[in-house]
Structure 1
Amino acid sequence: MIAIVDDDESVRLATESLMRSFGFRTNIFASAESFLNSSTLPDTDCLITDVQMPNMGGLELHEVLRARGAALPVIFMTAFPEEQVRRRAQEVRAVGFLAKPFDGDAIMSLVFEALKNPSQAP
């Protein structure tokens, strides 16, 4: 299952639609907190999350997941692709870092990479 966490509804729905068009099961969340409080974490094979969201952003979400022992492949996306944020995503061994708006082929390539090598998740 692919979890999509983004406070922007249009991005959530578009990303969900793209994942479903490739046959993936998805769950969408408007916040990091709603994902963390859901029962879907054990079924999540890949996380796609926005970097900047109110309260808790994607990088902080990743830190909480690691602290809980959840080693998921993560793809970060952002409307503000600053170099220091990109470096931080690389440091935590993210599968990918995409600037919004992103190309559907680019994100699908990253999803397939994440699912092919789930053992390499941080």
Structure 2
Amino acid sequence: MTQNTPMHAATTIAIVDDDDSVRGALESLLRSGGYTTRTYRSALEFLDANALTKTHCLVSDIQMPGMSGVEMLEQLIATGYHIPTIFITAYPAAAPPPGAHSPELVACLPKPCDADKLLNCIEAALLQRH
């Protein structure tokens, strides 16, 4: 598990998932790791929230009603936002491999995801931003 450092508190992780319980569990995990979190029920809610420039890392479900996580990432890239992204999915066989869309895609983890693995992927994503 990562160390809780003051840098983490200045790091905002966006969590996008249509499942309230998953969103809540991820928020609790990341806050316990010292991160600032923002949660969104859908890709469109995230895109409309005016939070793109304040998001250091994105943790998103792939399959959601409306816009999928993959479509959201594609739209972010097309509009010039390069946010390191970690997908979580209940359907790992359908998940794109890391780097499939761009360097922004850091990892695809199965649901339920291992807490330590997710935190390690977030650390890798944050290093990628620098």
Partner of 1:31: 42
Unaligned runs of 5+ in 2: 1-11
Query: Is it true that 1:105 corresponds to 2:116 in the alignment?
Result: yes
Partner of 1:40: 51
Partner of 1:16: 27
State the Cα deviation string for residues 20-61 of structure 1 (Å, max 9, x = none). Answer: 001111100000000000021110000000000001110000
Secondary structure, aligned partner of 1:52: coil
Say if 2:86 and 2:121, in contact at 8 Å, map to a contact too: yes
Q: Which runs of 4+ in 1 moved over 3 A?
A: none
| Number of residue-to-residue matches in the alignment | 117
Partner of 1:86: 96
Unaligned runs of 5+ in 1: none
TM-score (norm 2): 0.86
Q: Which moved more, 1:90-99 or 1:39-48?
A: 90-99
Query: Is it true that 1:59 corresponds to 2:84 in the alignment?
Result: no
Specify the code of the residue in structure 1 equivalent to 2:50. S
Identity of aligned residues (%): 44
TM-score (norm 1): 0.91
| 2: CA distance, partners of 1:32 / 1:102 | 20
Specify the code of the residue in structure 1 equivalent to 2:92. P
Larger relative helix fraction: 1
Specify the code of the residue in structure 2 equivalent to 1:2. I
